[in-house]
């Protein structure tokens, strides 16, 4: 699979490289974050990171004053497994070199399936901050080296947290309904709509990905 760079023109359809943010303190703090080589871990909110000076800057400049959460996604991964989207941009800050597998929400069909042949891969050099637009399909980053990756994830507060009981009921009803699939079936966490690949065996997820489970060599 061809791997593009986030500085290439093709990336403009998915997001942009963020300039003018001093990430040095954030990257330093991430040196102590766990980095498993046999799995991928995600923590939506880390107090140590949210206490840094850059947190207020990201809140006020990148999110227009909305409350945010700063966490991380770390580990070792070569597969796509699923795609997700939010009703908001996501900011990823690469602590190590990594690769993002990206798609477009506009390519999801009316029955909420997605052809994995449309996925594009982008290399993100260590220290680079990128904004992924709300319409950009994404999931866990992929490793650019056998030593794995660490990536800071910035999102509006409460994103990826457990659904309320009312939301869970809505999702359950959508899963039981016969006929046309609705977007409610995709909601797996707050502000998180997900389409999984059957191969990934993600419990409770809607397996709407068609084609190969994209895997980087």
Q: What is the pLDDT of residue 179?
A: 86
Q: Specify the DSSP element, H or E, that contains 74.
A: strand 68-75
Q: Tell me if 58 sits within 8 A of 91, measured CB to CB.
A: yes
pLDDT for 194:
98
List the pLDDT tens digit at each of the 217 positions of the chain. 999 999 999 999 999 999 999 999 999 999 999 999 999 999 999 999 999 999 999 999 999 999 999 999 999 999 999 999 999 999 999 999 999 999 999 999 999 999 999 999 999 999 999 999 999 999 999 999 999 999 999 999 999 999 999 999 999 999 999 888 999 999 999 999 999 999 999 999 999 999 999 999 8
Q: Which pLDDT value is given to residue 149?
A: 98
**Separation between Cα atoms, residue 157 and residue 58, nearest integer Å:** 12
Residue 217's pLDDT is 85
Pick among 2.60.120.10, 3.40.50.10490, 1.20.120.550, 3.60.10.10: CATH of 3-158 = 2.60.120.10
**Contacts by residues 117-120 (CB-CB < 8 Å, ≥ 24 positions apart):** 117/211, 117/212, 119/80, 119/83, 119/214, 120/4, 120/10, 120/14
């Amino acid at each position: 699979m061809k791997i593009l760079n986030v500085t290439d023109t093709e990336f403009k359809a998915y997001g942009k490289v963020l300039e003018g943010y001093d990430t040095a303190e954030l990257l330093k703090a991430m040196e102590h974050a766990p980095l498993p080589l046999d799995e991928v871990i995600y923590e939506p909110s880390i107090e140590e990171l949210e206490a840094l000076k850059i947190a207020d800057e990201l809140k006020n400049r990148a999110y227009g004053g909305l409350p945010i959460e700063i966490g991380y996604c770390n580990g070792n991964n070569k597969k796509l497994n699923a795609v997700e989207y939010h009703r908001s941009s996501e900011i990823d800050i690469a602590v190590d070199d990594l690769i993002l597998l990206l798609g477009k929400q506009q390519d999801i069909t009316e029955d909420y399936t997605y052809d994995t042949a449309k996925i594009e891969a982008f290399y993100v050099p260590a220290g680079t901050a990128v904004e992924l637009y709300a319409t950009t399909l994404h999931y866990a980053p992929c490793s650019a080296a056998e030593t794995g990756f660490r990536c800071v994830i910035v999102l509006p507060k409460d994103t990826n947290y457990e659904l309320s009981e009312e939301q869970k009921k809505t999702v359950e009803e959508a899963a039981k309904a016969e006929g046309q699939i609705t977007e409610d079936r995709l909601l797996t966490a707050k502000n998180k709509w997900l389409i999984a690949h059957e191969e990934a065996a993600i419990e409770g997820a809607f397996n709407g990905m068609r084609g190969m489970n994209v895997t980087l060599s």
